[in-house]
Each structure stands twice: as structure tokens, then as C-alpha cells.
Structure 1
Amino acid sequence: MKKTLVSALTTALVVGAASTTFAAANPFSDVPADHWAYDAVSQLAADGVIEGYGDTTFRGNQNITRYEMAQMIAKAMAKSDVSAADKALIDKLAAEFSDELNNLGVRVSNLERNADMVKWNGQARYRYWSQRYEKENGSKDKKNKDQLTFRFEPTAEVNANWHVKARIDASADPSEDGSANMAVKRIWAQGDYRNFQVKLGKLPLASTETAGMLFDDQFSGAQLTFGNKLKATLEAGRWNLANGANAQSAIKRAADSLDDAANYQGIMLNGTTGKLYGGAAYRHFSSAAFTQINDDASSDDANLWSVGAGYKFDHNWDLSGAYAKNTEADTDATAHNIQLNYKGAQKANKGSWGAYTAYRYMGQNVAFAPLYEMFLTNSGMNNVKGWEVGAEYIPFTNVLSKIQYFNGKKLDSDRDAEGLFGQVNFFF
């Protein structure tokens, strides 16, 4: 808020403090540049304190009510960059219009409250999976699943460097007449500094070096990232195997009975140079559940090594690949992927679209909780290899539609595996 805002509010108070209305002016089509209030009203409009009508006018010569004046004061109270003198004047205005402000839900006793400190984003999402597996006798085992999810992602400002972030999901099975399961999936404090970032709490566990081939989940602990074009990330904490591991995997079943959480430490390196980007990582987990999949049945470790790289040919074409291995597991211990992307859907750009084709080899004892929608934790498909194609489209602003198809083999039986996935997102 600038001094011009205070001047305009002061003028308004002087003109109309003794009555229920007062005159106002503003810089729209009916406020010429030579008008005495042009500069002040321009600043008010820029600060978001006042706004005009849909026909580009503000009709500043007509009277406004005390309630409308209170709305202006409430917006002024939300500003943080004010001098001591300006704040004192706003306090006086707040006292004069306290009844109207209380009706607006503004707590006059907390004049330094900043309305912009908490921001809310979110989405409503529908997802559908249809899967076909070849059985030993050659017949097909069919599995269909769909899910509705409502997600909130609030961000609260603590100060110039620190924010608190969260993700709250409410998910339901549309085929059942029941209530949604709501959970706080993530909540963490994040400090951002020049070439340095720290996160503390329940925060994302993401294998960015492999573009999500291994993980898109959350863990409880701490993360430290530093660097510019080359970034190093250190992580340590606990990962919930029972909730995060692939639904049909041996490690998931063992976690349910032996140990549902694993101690975790990891280090990642990611960098870019020109059109080339890539990264590498090492992650160590320890839990009794890993004894069920390891060469050495007494070992409760999982040691994951991974690398990934990609090249952006131009604005439309992007080729990437990744490889990972769990050096402790005796079977299904590797994963690799190569993917070619064309264009990409942008949710704010109606009519934008993208498509891709990929080959995926998803060993279940290393690709524990991948980002790929076809193989998500709750999808029921894992431990497969094969080809996948997909496309996405923005039919309306902030509405994303997506479809994917996979055709391949199960790694443990070499029998056919086929999947179809569809998704619609409404962002807000």
C-alpha cells in the first residue's frame, strides 16, 4: 500500500465520516488523466483495493455505503508494506468502521493480518484402471477399478524465507455408497534461500533423477538441497512401506505382517546443461520386510542405485531414459525405462495437448512406488515389462483429460499383461 492509498482513504473519511455515504473517484474510462484524484485512484486500483464495473467505468461520482468503505479498509488492512504513520491512520479507520468490519468477518484486534499469507490450490480428479492378465490356462483375469479424489494443497507464509505446505486428500470408490477417506498426506515446513533449501516434516519422496520411475510418495524426515545448475539433495527419515509399496508386491505383503516402516537415507544429484539433463541417486532402506525379497534372508536392507538422463531436441520433442537396481534383492531387482514425449498439455492453455510412447521394465523390488499412473500403488499392476502409449488434452481451461494404454508381459511368469487408464482433472 502506497501513500496515495492513505491519501484517498483520508479524503474519503473527511468527505463522508459524518454521514453514511461519501463521494469517490477512480481512473477508469470515466476518470480522465487530468482529474484531481487520478493518481490516487490509479494506485488504489493497482493495489486491488477498488475495482470497476464490467463496462470499464467505476462511476466514481455516485455515493457508496459505509459497508463498501469497510471493504476498502479491510483490503488496506491486509497490506504489509506500510509505514508507522500509515498504519496508525488505518487503525483509526478500522475503529471508525469496526461494526461493518466485524460483519465482514475481519478481526479488528488483529490489524496486521495479511490476507495473502495462506493460498489454496487443489483439484477434483476421477481415475479409471482396466487390467487384463493371462492366467496359466490361457484365459484372462479382468480387474477394473476407479477412484474419485478431492485434493487441497495449501501454502502458508511464515516469513520471507519459510512456508508451511500440505496436501490433504479425500478419496472414494464410486462403486460403493460410502464416505470418502480423508487424510493429511503431506505437511512440511520449507525454508528457501539462495541456492539452498531445507524441508522438515512429512514431505515428498520423489525419484526426480528417473522422472518418477521409482518413487512418488511421501516420507517423514528432513531434506536438504543445495546448488544451482547442479543440485545435490540429502534425505533421511522413515518411509511407510505398508502404504507406499506396490499393492500386489511381496514387500507390501511383508510390510503388513513384519514391519510397516523403513528407516531411510538417500542422496541425489540432478543437473542441466543446455538441452541435456540428468541425475543419479543412491537410497538405503532398512526394515524386516526386506528379508522376504533379499538374497541373504538375514539382511533387512534395500540398496537402490539409479541414473537417468534426457535431451530436449526443441520445444516439442523430448527423449529420456532411466535405469535402477536394488543390489540386495534376489529377483525383480531392476527397472528401466525409455520415453519419447511430443508437446505437452498445459492446464491454463485450452486446446493444448501432448502424446508419448515408452518402453517400461518395472521390477517390483526396486520400482516400489512409481509416478507412472498405470503402475500407481493402488492400481494393482506391477512387475511387468512392455510398451505404453498415452495422450493428454485440455478441453477447457484448467481441465485435463488423459488416456494411456499398456501391453506387455508379467516378469515372474512371462504371461500377457494389458492395461487401460483414463483420468480427468479439474484444477482450482
Structure 2
Amino acid sequence: MKKTMVAALAAAMTIGAASTTFAAANPFSDVPRDHWAYDAVTQLAADGVVEGYGDGTYRGDRNITRYEMAQMVAKAMAKENVPVSDKALIDRLAAEFADELNNLGVRVSNLEKHADMVKWTGLLRYDHISNRHENTKTSNTERLRFRLMPTAEVNDHWQVKARLTADSNMKTDSGSSGELKLDYANAEGNYGKLNVTLGRIAYTTDVDEAMVFDNYLSGGMVKFGNVVKAKVAAGRMSKFSDSDVAANYQGIELSTTLGKLTGGVGYHHFNSNAFKDSGYSKTPTDNANVWMVGGSYTFDKNVRLAAAYAQNTAADYHHKAGSVELDYKGAKKSDMGSWGAYLAYRHLGENVAFAPTYNVLGNDQKGWAVGATYTLFKNVTTKAEYFKGKDITKDKNASALFGRVEFAF
């Protein structure tokens, strides 16, 4: 690693280091335990001053920028119970990076915690959805959706998150529920590599990239691990699948990343009266046992291929689901002019893909889907998608057109 970067971090390693015990687990795959900067980098990660990159690397072979250093100083300025000697170091660093801190909105003149205890984000979204089924009248929906997402700090480890949503049907000028509704509210705790979430959770099956389920879970979820990451969850799901019948749920997923390749396996158990149907199993049952495998390969910074397969071993009919998707680039809401596109083929058996995440392909459908996203302006994105295929159980042609404009704040 270049000492230009590590030396800067070593100078900052006492920033907010309330404890003197170094983290036991190695947070970055490219910083070996015998490296001279291992303790400093590990301590900075444990204190939340540095986070590394999404692939689990630290990339210390590149020079740090002044803005990256300013971000670390800003995090240190928000720390409480800082020793006097470290406070003096923070003052010197704040003076050195005053211009960058001011651009980041940090008050250099006051080292008290600068962030509000509650942070709000949100969006305003317009969706046009057109569903076509053979021998059935086309269904068109024009939906205006407004969302608020507060995040409140409880202490150094816990925070509370929630999401409020209001929908309006622009064809009839009426709201779907007539009021702002609470989608989820939960408490989330982070202890190094351990993450705990309790309450009503926006829950997805991750190994298959939400091919089987993207809905809400009332219960608990635990994530842990480093090289092999695990997710364990249990609770109750309301309005399960296409019915209003609830389901009890337990599930576990294991995943890992090896260079450009990611992969994982999962098991998900559901128990619900919604399964007591003649089109579900030869022998009546109220269980679903879903096994899944999924993975992706990133060819370069622009191209990625992902695939997933799931099967419900408790069902006898329409109990298999699969997806293959090719992605090119991707629109970033902060980057005006960025764009992305995808091409996919999916088969979503109704007795396994209970609540899939897709906009133009749903439960009990199969076929091709294509889509593109584009960032018109900063925080203003557009999306267009098209599906052509079949309704599986009816064996009838089906298609869908989806368009979206989203303003994020």
C-alpha cells in the first residue's frame, strides 16, 4: 500500500477511537494481518471512520483524495467522548480541510455532533402500467406515489427506520387507501459484522435477487459473516401472495463473493392456509418449502450476467421458477446522463414465485423482459420496461408496458 494513504489514515486513527481494543475480525480482504498498517486500518473500520468498498476491499494502493479525507474528518467530528489529545488532532485536521468540510456542509467552528438525530429522505414517483392478457380488456394504471423515509439515531449501535407511503390514482384522482400508510418500521442494530433488525421489515429473498419474495416481514432478521455471509429471518407475512391470508415464515441464506463471481443458496419455509388449494398439491398441505440457488458474474464495470433457480418441494404444480438476466451499465441518480439497460427471461411458477420484485413480470407468468433507465437530471431518473410472454396456468398470451419518472430527495 502507498504510505501516502495509510499515513493519512494512521494520523487519523485516533479520531473518535473511544476504545483501545482492535477489532478481532479482518474487515478488508486486501489488508492481511501481517501488514504494518493492519491495526490502524482495522481500528478505523471498527470506529466507523472508514468503510472500504462494496466488494470488501480497502484499496490502499491508491492515493486518498482531500474529499475522502474530509469525509473521515467529518465522521470523527460527530463522535462523542473523544479524548483531549485526539480532540486537538481533530481541530488541526478540521482546519486543514476547512474548505472541503464546508462544501460537505460541516460546521468547522463547532465540533459538536452536526447531524440531526432524525434524517429524512423520500421520493415522488409517477408510474404508468399497462397490462394486456389474451381475450381480456387491457388494464391501464396511472399511479402517483409519495414516500417519506425517516432514519433516527438511538445510540452508536442502534437506529430506527420507517417508510410512509401515499398513493394516488391519477385516472380517478383518488388515493388507494385515502391516507398516508406505514409500510414498515423497525429497529436496526450494527455490531461490526453482525446486523440485527427487529419489527416490520421490507424483506426480500436475496440469493435470487427477490425472484421469490419482495414484501414485508413482521419479525426479526440477523445478518452476519465475512467471507461467507449469512441471513437468518423469522416472522409473519401479511397479505401473502395474491390472497389476504397471512403466512408464518422462517428462512436462511448463505452467500459469498469470489472475485467477479457471487453466489449463494437459500431455504425458505412458509406455513399458510393459502396453500390449501387444489392447484397447489395432490395432497392438501399448508406448507411451502422453497430451495433456491443464485449467482452472478461481472465481466467488467459495464456487463453483468445473473441467474437464479427456485423450487417449492411441497407443491406438485407450477412449483419452479427461474431467471436469467444480462445487465449493461446502470443509471445512478446522482449522475446526470448515466444510463443502463437489461434483457431477461423469467419463468415464475405461481406456487414458488409468491411475490416477485419485477415491474412487468409477475406471479404465474413467463417470458422475455427488456428495460432501460436514464438519469435526466441529478436525482431525477426515468425507467421504461416491456414484457412479452404468457400467463402460465391459463396458457394465454400476455404482455406489459411500464414507465416511470422518479424525483428523489
Which TM-score applies when normalising by structure 2? Answer: 0.72
Give the structure 1 partner of residue 120 of structure 2. 120
d(CA) in 2 for partners of 1:382 and 1:417? 12
**AA partner of residue 256 (structure 2):** G
CA gap 1:287/1:389 in 2 versus in 1, 3 angstroms = same
Give the structure 2 partner of residue 276 of structure 1. 261
d(CA) in 2 for partners of 1:368 and 1:286? 13
d(CA) in 2 for partners of 1:413 and 1:365? 14
CA gap 1:276/1:128 in 2 versus in 1, 3 angstroms = same
- Max radius of gyration: which structure? 1
**AA partner of residue 277 (structure 1):** T
Q: Deviations over 1:10-34 (max 9, x none)?
A: xxxxxxxxxxxxxxxxxxxxxxxxx
Map residues 334-353 of structure 1 onto 2, 5 A cutoff.
Answer: 334-353=320-339
Give the structure 2 partner of residue 391 of structure 1. 372
Give the C-alpha shift of residue 225 in structure 1.
0.9
The SS at the match of 1:289 is: helix
Give the C-alpha shift of residue 116 in structure 1.
2.3
CA gap 1:44/1:310 in 2 versus in 1, 3 angstroms = closer
Tell me if structure 1 keeps the 8 A contact 2:356–2:363: no
d(CA) in 1 for partners of 2:104 and 2:320? 59
The SS at the match of 1:350 is: coil
The SS at the match of 1:210 is: coil
Name which of 262, 284, 296 aligns with 1:298: 284
User: Does the alignment pair 1:427 with 2:371?
Assistant: no
Tell me if structure 1 keeps the 8 A contact 2:236–2:247: yes
d(CA) in 2 for partners of 1:50 and 1:232? 39
Give the C-alpha shift of residue 44 in structure 1.
11
The SS at the match of 2:196 is: strand
Tell me if structure 2 keeps the 8 A contact 1:291–1:297: no
d(CA) in 1 for partners of 2:102 and 2:260? 44
Map residues 312-391 of structure 1 onto 2, 5 A cutoff.
Answer: 312-375=298-361, 381-391=362-372
d(CA) in 2 for partners of 1:281 and 1:264? 13
Give the C-alpha shift of residue 366 in structure 1.
1.0
Map residues 2-13 of structure 1 onto 2, 5 A cutoff.
Answer: none
d(CA) in 2 for partners of 1:360 and 1:228? 31
d(CA) in 1 for partners of 2:198 and 2:215? 15
User: Does the alignment pair 1:178 with 2:174?
Assistant: yes
Map residues 160-179 of structure 1 onto 2, 5 A cutoff.
Answer: 160-179=156-175
Map residues 73-112 of structure 1 onto 2, 5 A cutoff.
Answer: 76=110, 79-80=112-113
Q: Deviations over 1:204-250 (max 9, x none)?
A: 2111101111111111001111101321111011001x2x524xxxx
Give the C-alpha shift of residue 141 in structure 1.
2.8
Tell me if structure 1 keeps the 8 A contact 2:355–2:363: no
d(CA) in 2 for partners of 1:314 and 1:51? 31
Give the structure 2 partner of residue 208 of structure 1. 206
d(CA) in 2 for partners of 1:118 and 1:168? 15
d(CA) in 1 for partners of 2:311 and 2:94? 63
Tell me if structure 1 keeps the 8 A contact 2:354–2:363: no
Q: Deviations over 1:36-58 (max 9, x none)?
A: xxx99958966979999xxxxxx
- Residue identity over aligned pairs, in percent, reads 44
Q: Deviations over 1:277-323 (max 9, x none)?
A: 01111111111221124325531111111111110000000001001
The SS at the match of 1:368 is: coil
The SS at the match of 1:213 is: coil
Give the structure 2 partner of residue 107 of structure 1. none
Give the structure 1 partner of residue 131 of structure 2. 131
d(CA) in 1 for partners of 2:308 and 2:167? 31
Give the structure 2 partner of residue 10 of structure 1. none
Give the C-alpha shift of residue 390 in structure 1.
0.6
Tell me if structure 2 keeps the 8 A contact 1:406–1:420: yes
The SS at the match of 1:269 is: strand
d(CA) in 2 for partners of 1:51 and 1:202? 33
Give the C-alpha shift of residue 275 in structure 1.
0.1
d(CA) in 2 for partners of 1:41 and 1:374? 50
| RMSD (Å), alpha carbons | 2.7
d(CA) in 1 for partners of 2:169 and 2:191? 42
d(CA) in 2 for partners of 1:40 and 1:280? 46
d(CA) in 2 for partners of 1:50 and 1:44? 10
Q: Deviations over 1:345-387 (max 9, x none)?
A: 0100000000110001011211111111114xxxxx5311111
Name which of 241, 255, 262 aligns with 1:245: 241
CA gap 1:296/1:40 in 2 versus in 1, 3 angstroms = closer
User: Does the alignment pair 1:402 with 2:383?
Assistant: yes
Structure 1 runs of 4+ off > 6 angstroms?
Answer: 46-52
d(CA) in 2 for partners of 1:393 and 1:194? 36
d(CA) in 2 for partners of 1:201 and 1:51? 33
d(CA) in 1 for partners of 2:248 and 2:264? 23
The SS at the match of 1:373 is: coil
Give the structure 2 partner of residue 411 of structure 1. 392
d(CA) in 2 for partners of 1:416 and 1:181? 36
d(CA) in 2 for partners of 1:271 and 1:183? 36
Give the structure 2 partner of residue 141 of structure 1. 137
Structure 1 unaligned residues grouped into runs of 5+: 1-38, 53-71, 81-113, 247-251, 376-380
d(CA) in 1 for partners of 2:103 and 2:293? 53
The SS at the match of 2:223 is: strand
Structure 2 unaligned residues grouped into runs of 5+: 1-91
d(CA) in 1 for partners of 2:359 and 2:347? 15
User: When the two structures are aligned, how many residues end up with a matched partner?
Assistant: 315
d(CA) in 2 for partners of 1:45 and 1:343? 36
Give the structure 1 partner of residue 78 of structure 2. none
The SS at the match of 1:209 is: coil
